[in-house]
Structure 1
Amino acid sequence: MLTKVTDTSSAQARRGKDIQGIPWDRLNIKREKYRQTRLEQYKNYENIPSSGEVIDKECKQVQKGGNYYEFCHNTRLVKPTILHFQLRNLIWATSKHDVYYMSNYSVIHWSSLSCKLSEVLNFSGHVAPNEKHPGSLSEGFAQTQISTLAVKDNFLVAGGFQGELTCKHLDRKGVSFCSRTTYDDNVITNAVEIYDSLSGGIHFMASYNDGGVREYDMERFQLLNHFHFPWPHTSMSPDSKLITVVGDHIDGLLVDSQNGKTVSSLVGHLDYSFASAWHPDGRTFATGNQDKTCRVWDTRNLSSSIAVLKGNLGAVRSIRFSSDGQFMAVAEPADFVHIYSTKGDYNMRQEVDFFGEISGVSLSPDAESLFIGVWDRTYASMLQYSRRHTYKYLDCYV
């Protein structure tokens, strides 16, 4: 019964119900007016004053009207949360029905098929490993505040505010590995990523505010590489040869994953960046910045970006490419997710428009589903969109 009250289905949305269940007809402000107010009053966080205004003249005018994903479902049973305003990678889909997210101290699994929630890990109490690996803290942690998360296949890696790392196999009970990488004062985990390594095994990389970028294998949880940069927030290329490094600086870096040496600088953004992602082709990648732009780069010519895409409201906090490379989802801190078609040189986009802070955005591995975590005191929820398909072969039966 609770599900019916708190959910919005695609059929209800087609009949005019607000996708978030906001009763605009009972409020003393119309949706269009409230949208205008939000656009005028939302305060974008900047480290470099007026970076968003200065960059306007350089931005590509991208046509709205793309229709790649259609609204499928919204549930307010799911209540995603955020702990750090700049780190918004707390939503991970492992199939078109299964999504993992942070809610306060808990990692929760949501099945959009069964409409059921299940707690995977609770960090409010004591979390300790039940496997023995060299370097693992057998005593574990208590009351860990999770700043960033990665879930892929059957693996989960969570990074904490005090440099904590917790690794879990989703098909095993308990936790496999716990580590505190450093005891520096400023050691928030900025990003974690799970990927297939050059050697064939599954590795993960964690980047920290202390400047450390550490690579581990997911089998024995041994530290394989430790690089140091002034401001790391990292993402790994599909062939595991290159790393993008962005962070508390207007420039980014492209780095060799084997030796940590800089291959190229990335010059163009006007503020600090806390998002990056790679296209599956291994040549194209994107960076998201507090100057309200997403820049798309080609490794064959890094003298300038190939596209500068401007948001509506604030910084670009999360970027995801679809597994087939056809789409790029770009999340602002609140209210807007933009889906760009990569085929037409990023000239066309779909705008997903709602209200609330965004805890993360994730495309399912088959690119069939798009999930958006919304953090809001009243309307916290999980938005789900489904890929639109045009079946041209059916035309012959019409």
Structure 2
Amino acid sequence: MACRNNVLIVGGNSGEFALKRVDEKDGTEHWGAITSDASGITNHIDLVHDRNGAFQALISSNDFRARLMDINTSKMTREIDFPWAVNCSTLSMDRRILCAVGDATESIIADAQTGKGKRLYLATGNQDKTTRIYDIRNMSETLHVLRANVGAVRSLHFSSDGRHLAVAEPLDFVHIYDATTYDQSQVIDFFGEIAGVSFTPDDNSLFIANADDRVGSIMEFGRINHGCWQDDDCFLV
């Protein structure tokens, strides 16, 4: 059962639901079916707004699915399959990520649109000349240790799509890693101290702030394919 924004919704053991607007004194209950599956027990319901502002019910069911149902039409707008009965699911504040738990020891963090699993990475730049990658669900284990050439890592940023990580050393070197595997990187090698790096929101450019007294500038490297940014030279190592 869930109640929010004057809407009350209840799910049952056979995939049925009842919905009522509690602000309407003589409001009529709306009945319907979430699923016709024989194991379609409703385990949990949450009332949420999606990224477009539509008011929806996020329903976790015993038939291995989480569903989004439009409150105004009582129509299912999305179904996400899981490998086990879903006991509870919820959306992140930005409505991009869905977390589900069920009849298993693990939980799943997935893209709320596609249902594809996500790993949430945290990258740290360190004085020992390394960048260290962690999965935020298990901070006790380092997934990757990426070594710099000359000094401590001072600036690092993931691209908006999460596919690349730019890592700046204190001078001369910026590394752009493939964030799906971290087994290869593009190295931008130039002269000068580095004040910072940043991708543009569309990930089509990378800006590097060169803080050298003699040749200081803001350099822009344009993306020329899925894994390479170019000014004059572009290479992978």
- The two structures have a TM-score, normalised by structure 2, of 0.48
Structure with higher strand content:
2
Tell me: higher relative CO, structure 1 or 2? Use CA pairs within 8 A at least 6 residues apart: 1
- The two structures have a TM-score, normalised by structure 1, of 0.29
